[in-house]
Amino acid sequence: MMQTPPPFSSFTHLKYWPTWLGISLLILVAWMPFSVRYHAGQLLGLLIYHLARERRYITRINIATCFPELDIQQQHELVKQSFRENGIGLIETATGWVRKQGTFREQTTLIGLDKLEAAQARGKGILLIGAHYSTLDFGANLLSLFHPFAVTYRPHRNALFDAFMLRGRLSNCNGVFDRNDIRGAFRHLKQGKTLWYAPDQDYGPDHAVYAPFFGKPAATITAGSRFAAFNDSSAFLIRQHRKGKSPQYEIEFTPFPDTFPGADDIADATLVNQMIERAIRQYPAQYLWMHKRFKTQPGGKPESPYINIATPNHRLTEAQYERIIGGATQVAELHGVLDYKLPTGLWVRQYPRVISKRRIFGHPARIFDQHAKNLRMHGIDSITVDNFFRVPDRKLSLVSYFVPEGKLLSQLPARELPLQALAAFMAQLHAKGFCCKKPVLDMFIIRAQGFAVVDPTDFILSRTPPSLKERRNSLIQLSRNLNLSGSGRDDFFACYADQAGLAISGMEA
């Protein structure tokens, strides 16, 4: 169904006033000369860079993942430039939504338009496969001056801004479809029209396959292949970019090979990602790197690179709580904290007291989560918290989490204990500032990739590595739990000292 925006008169409530102010400022700047819009966009982008801590972190992870050939300083500059470009893009978006169509025709260069028009003559419809560049919406405004098309979109969480966005897009397009309205998009192609679709965001594992994007697996939605195959529509990659600091824009249409779409969804998704990647590399700062493109991974959340982001916090009813706990097996209880294992393999820890929706620190569930994140961000394998759950009816909180696969160290026969590897792991923990004064074997999991920490709250992170005395006490306790004595204990200490780069003198028990 074609989308229609609600009237602005329905957004008079006080809660919408900040949004009205933001929209008014965008409209005001949109009518300014290009140089003013350009510099205002850069300032806006830098403001977002400093305020949006989590988005800055996501962008940094994405750029480090996709451009490992850049050094740290180059990656940092690309992160900042990406925010500047996206700030400019926000101003351009508003400009395209409120300024008169045709204003920017002379500033637009189109490459491959003749191929697009030839494909239009087939009467089978055209699928434009694009990506989320900073110029996405303004590029749509420019393209509408030369070629009619429809788009798919995801509604914005702010209802007023969504209405503003929808009105702007309808002024440029001959149709706007909700991204879940697949039938409406199919009908549009069936009528021989053009559909612009951007499949470069992570919508989860449903209707997606894993295909490489900048060398890393990315959940890639297969709807693009289905759209193209539905009516034998011609498929083009569309790229739109701002050319430097000048008010000049470029739109390029690159036809997909005749073999697209094929019978293999993964091959199709790989081709789409490769073509989008080549386009991004031309102007990498103009891409929307703030999106969690690699969130969904084959191994689930433990493989996601976005470790230090906010953990979702949900409210559970009494019935929902009973369904979760009713199918779980209680594993342990200590000081009112219960651990359960679900049939799915996921673990659940139950705490007394309801975890706050807004407060970041204080509750033991949050401490559990933050300690796990600290370990993983420092390259130490540990549990991965999936979600927080509030159970107000019972005054309880739940934490669902993944435990790394492997065996507890305590489950291994003494002759199979990898003592040298354990000594090296302890040296690694201490070198990164983690210390535990009472280490026991149940604190460690041994797996093919090395060791993992079971309960992250057993370890304390300091700004500096532990002192020699703290290291020694920790190793003495661990060697006793390992039943080491004599030469075996000396070898364990010597291996640790060698890995830690410390003199053996003073390390012996």
Report the CATH number of the 407-500 domain.
1.10.510.10
Band (pLDDT 50/70/90 cuts) for residue 322 is very high
Q: Average pLDDT for residues 479-491, to the nearest whole number?
A: 88
Looking at residue 2, what is its pLDDT?
55
Band (pLDDT 50/70/90 cuts) for residue 434 is very high
pLDDT at 348 over 70: yes
Q: In CATH, which of 3.20.20.140, 3.80.30.20, 3.40.640.10, 3.30.200.20 is domain 310-402? A: 3.30.200.20
* Predicted model pTM: 0.90
Q: What is the pLDDT of residues 182-231, one digit of tens each?
A: 788 888 899 999 999 999 999 899 889 999 999 999 999 998 898 889 88
Looking at residue 1, what is its pLDDT?
53
**What is the DSSP code string of 282-351?**
HSGGGB-TTS-TT-S-TT-GGG-S--SSPPPEEE--HHHHHHHHHT-EEEEEETTEEEEE-TTS-EEEEE
Lowest mean pLDDT among 28-32, 238-242, 438-442: 438-442
Residue with tokens 């709807």: 223
Residues of the chain with CATH 1.10.510.10: 407-500
Locate 265 and state its tokens.
């969804």
Locate 505 and state its tokens.
């003198």
Q: What is the pLDDT of residues 415-432, one digit of tens each?
A: 888 999 999 999 999 999
Question: Which of the two residues, 281 and 505, has the higher pLDDT score?
Answer: 281
Q: Average pLDDT for residues 441-463, to the nearest whole number?
A: 90
SS3 assignment, position 213: strand
Distances (CA, A) of 134 to 88, 171, 206, 293, 326: 8, 19, 27, 16, 48
Looking at residue 507, what is its pLDDT?
59
Residue 332 has φ and ψ, to the nearest 5°, of: -155, 160
Looking at residue 505, what is its pLDDT?
57
Q: Are 84 and 41 in contact (CB under 8 A)?
A: yes
pLDDT at 290 over 60: yes
Residues of the chain with CATH 3.30.200.20: 310-402
Cα separation, 79 vs 58, whole angstroms: 10
